[in-house]
Structure 1
Amino acid sequence: MSLLAPEALSLLLLLAFLLLGLYRRRPKARLPHPLASLLQEAAKEARGPLPWLPTGLFFLGLLLLALAAARPLLPLPGRGSENVAVLAVDVSRSMMASDLKPSRLEAAKQAARAFLEEAPRGLRVGLVAFSGTAQTVHPPTTDRKRLLESLASLEFGRSTAIGEGILEALRQIREAGGKGDILLLTDGRNRTGADPLEAAGEAARMGVRVFAVGVGVPGWTPGPEDPVSAFGFFAGAYEVDEELLWSLAEFTGGRYFLVESEKELSALYRQLARTVRLEVRREEATGFLGLLGGVLALGGVALRRYLSPA
């Protein structure tokens, strides 16, 4: 908890003096009264079973009012996070390759599900798909069910535009408040669209980290039965541009990973779910504490009048 006006806590000194004055030691009577013991018993019965409750409520209310005057900032529940994480997934046709089982894209989907399971519930997560162009499949949200449905709807496209994927993810982060991380997954090289390094420069200026994940098994080539073969054999089945992905991560303060199996990919995304930043939004609680303090103080006064109507 932080305070916008900490000087207002000096009011607590007045509260302390008030307490000292209220509970100052009363002088004992010099001449004992013959009915003193009976009078004391009658006074105890008149005060009821909890004689301290009205005073306690009153001073607790004053304490909250003094705290409200200091304008505290509290992490209020249900307000979510200032940060977002955007999953930017390559959906080019080479993602049909089966070196990761059952395919690179299906392995990426499973890893994204693992990320959603492990990530803090308050973290807003978005989904961007890119091939020759990039599009937002789902803007950042805490609704995990909707995100899982969006994951299942991913479709393949032509070519690979890594820079466009980064820029689209940045647009979503900017619209969500400007703070966040990008988890970029691809199996190829940038072939069209914006320069990925220029997009990384924009991410660095925004303070957005790019965690770049390359998928594929070096040296693997598709057989006749592999789905990717239906679209023609490409020059290299393994085309991850490791130098580019390393540069994207290094430039933005993120990390680069090369993954060669579906189990390793899911484990990595679980790890990344614990790495992304989660900053709980804090809001000023002056009104809430002031209202609660006033109710408690007035409740203490009313209870004292009720217990001691005379």
Structure 2
Amino acid sequence: MQFLWPHYLWLLLALPLLVLLYIALLRRKKKMAVRYASLSVVKEAMGTRSAWRRHLPPLLFLLSLTAMLLASARPVAVIALPSAHQTIILAMDVSGSMRATDVEPNRLVAAQNAAKSFLGELPRHVKVGIVAFAGSAQVAQLPTTNREDLVTAIDRFQLQRATATGNAIVISLATLFPDQGIELQALQAGRERQRGFAINAERKEKKEFTPVPPGSYNSAAIIMLTDGQRTTGVDPLEAAKMAADRGVRVYTVGVGTIDGETIGFEGWSMRVRLDEETLKQIATKTDAEYFYAGTAQDLKKVYQSLSSRLTVEKKETEISALFALAAALLALGAGGLSLLWFNRIL
């Protein structure tokens, strides 16, 4: 815990002085009590039969002052708060390798089931969009709060050839920022045209877009699930930089075989390997995280973990109000007990 106004903590030095003052008053009370002739009257005055009652209200009052002084120093702590995320894009791989059965019943069905469970755990106010990608990427469902439409979009997935992970990120960004002129075709037109696009985009967005720190955009996030390495399309690391410049986190989920294997599909075969290194770099570049899911159960746990991360986040927050509330309750407790036991306030 830290304090925004730490110089106010010097006021805590007054607390030991109050304790010394309290002890001095008790001693004075003892000296005055010996003037009474009756020993029973002295014991009653000194409260020897209930000493703890005599000291408890002052102790509570002292704790109340402590909490009050700490509140004045404006304490700050990292606590869990509801997330500000309002839109989440699920970018899901539908390449032919997703029919592999190393994740039961197969990778695609396991991913679909996990995504549906994820939707069920999100708050209803959070919008979710679906981007399906293989050799190309397209929006399967625009961001919506209608969970039925999202489930329908997930169930409509059709397997295709190739894997364009970079395209998935670009299309996701274009869906989140429709007014920024993000065009996938311009990025795919070759290095020279990419340079030209960068200049044109900079001119077009000069007044609208300024790069921000990675992970600083808390209104949206992208979750990308894939089981292979990029075989076509935009460089995923360049796409990740676009996301990082806009502050959007791209959480990556790798599913399937890390070492790679040959998978047959409709009379042709292909070698597929999970490119973990690139997925980790994408997550790191955008201030997000990478998850590996080797089984259907692992995949379900990954989505559960992502749900908790995206609905609740830890933030550095001022908690002066909590200390002030504690001070008020302690003060009320001290005064109430004193009235109940001694018919006076402290």
- TM-score > 0.5, shorter chain as reference: yes
Per-residue CA deviation, residues 115-167 of structure 1 (Å, 9 max, x unaligned), is 899x9x9xx997743224344869799xxxx9899567502156654223224
User: Which residue of structure 2 lines up, in the alignment, with residue 238 of structure 1?
Assistant: 270
Deviation at 1:174, TM superposition (A): 6.5
Task: Tell me which amino acid in the other structure corresponds to 2:218.
Answer: A
Task: Tell me which amino acid in the other structure corresponds to 1:198.
Answer: E
Task: Tell me which amino acid in the other structure corresponds to 1:267.
Answer: D
Map residues 119-268 of structure 1 onto 2, 5 A cutoff: 128-131=130-133, 132-135=136-139, 150=150, 153-154=153-154, 155-157=156-158, 161-167=164-170, 171=176, 176-177=218-219, 182-187=223-228, 189-191=230-232, 194-203=234-243, 206=247, 208=249, 211=252, 213=254, 215=256, 218-222=261-265, 229=266, 233=267, 236-238=268-270, 240=272, 246-250=277-281, 252-253=283-284, 264=295, 266-267=297-298
Task: Tell me which amino acid in the other structure corresponds to 1:67.
Answer: L
Say yes or no: does 1:18 pair with 2:18: yes
Map residues 81-100 of structure 1 onto 2, 5 A cutoff: 88-92=91-95, 94=96, 97-100=99-102
Say yes or no: does 1:80 pair with 2:82: yes
> Aligned equivalents of 2:323 and 2:106: distance in 1?
55
Which fold has the larger relative contact order, with Cα–Cα distance below 8 Å and residues 6 or more apart in sequence?
1
> Aligned equivalents of 1:89 and 1:202: distance in 2?
19
Q: Tell me if structure 2 keeps the 8 A contact 1:130–1:162.
A: no
Deviation at 1:58, TM superposition (A): 1.6
Deviation at 1:80, TM superposition (A): 3.4
Does the C-alpha gap of structure 1 residues 137 and 11 become closer, same or farther in structure 2, counting only changes over 3 Å? farther
User: Which residue of structure 2 lines up, in the alignment, with residue 5 of structure 1?
Assistant: 5
User: Which residue of structure 2 lines up, in the alignment, with residue 67 of structure 1?
Assistant: 70
Per-residue CA deviation, residues 191-245 of structure 1 (Å, 9 max, x unaligned), is 45x54231122345548465462646622313xxxxxx4xxx5xx54354756x6
| Fraction of identical pairs, as percent | 26
Does the C-alpha gap of structure 1 residues 221 and 137 become closer, same or farther in structure 2, counting only changes over 3 Å? same
Q: What SS does the aligned partner of 2:270 have?
A: coil
Q: What SS does the aligned partner of 1:51 have?
A: helix
Q: Tell me if structure 2 keeps the 8 A contact 1:214–1:240.
A: no
Which structure features the higher share of strand residues? 2
Q: Tell me if structure 1 keeps the 8 A contact 2:91–2:224.
A: yes
Deviation at 1:19, TM superposition (A): 1.7
Taking structure 1 as the reference length, the TM-score comes to 0.64
Q: Tell me if structure 2 keeps the 8 A contact 1:68–1:289.
A: yes
Say yes or no: does 1:297 pair with 2:297: no
Q: What SS does the aligned partner of 1:176 have?
A: coil
Deviation at 1:13, TM superposition (A): 0.9
Q: Tell me if structure 2 keeps the 8 A contact 1:87–1:125.
A: no
Q: What SS does the aligned partner of 2:58 have?
A: helix
Task: Tell me which amino acid in the other structure corresponds to 1:220.
Answer: I
> Aligned equivalents of 2:75 and 2:115: distance in 1?
38
Q: What SS does the aligned partner of 1:293 have?
A: helix
RMSD: 4.9
Structure 1 unmatched runs, 5+ = 223-228
Taking structure 2 as the reference length, the TM-score comes to 0.59
Deviation at 1:297, TM superposition (A): 2.1
Does the C-alpha gap of structure 1 residues 304 and 201 become closer, same or farther in structure 2, counting only changes over 3 Å? same
Q: What SS does the aligned partner of 1:221 have?
A: strand
Does the C-alpha gap of structure 1 residues 87 and 58 become closer, same or farther in structure 2, counting only changes over 3 Å? same
Does the C-alpha gap of structure 1 residues 74 and 174 become closer, same or farther in structure 2, counting only changes over 3 Å? closer
> Aligned equivalents of 1:138 and 1:285: distance in 2?
39
Say yes or no: does 1:285 pair with 2:319: yes
Q: Tell me if structure 1 keeps the 8 A contact 2:256–2:274.
A: no
Range moving further from structure 2, 33-42 or 18-27? 33-42
Q: What SS does the aligned partner of 2:131 have?
A: strand
Per-residue CA deviation, residues 78-128 of structure 1 (Å, 9 max, x unaligned), is x23579997532135x266354443331132355579899x9x9xx99774
Q: What SS does the aligned partner of 2:157 have?
A: coil
Q: What SS does the aligned partner of 1:280 have?
A: strand
Does the C-alpha gap of structure 1 residues 115 and 39 become closer, same or farther in structure 2, counting only changes over 3 Å? same
Deviation at 1:285, TM superposition (A): 1.8
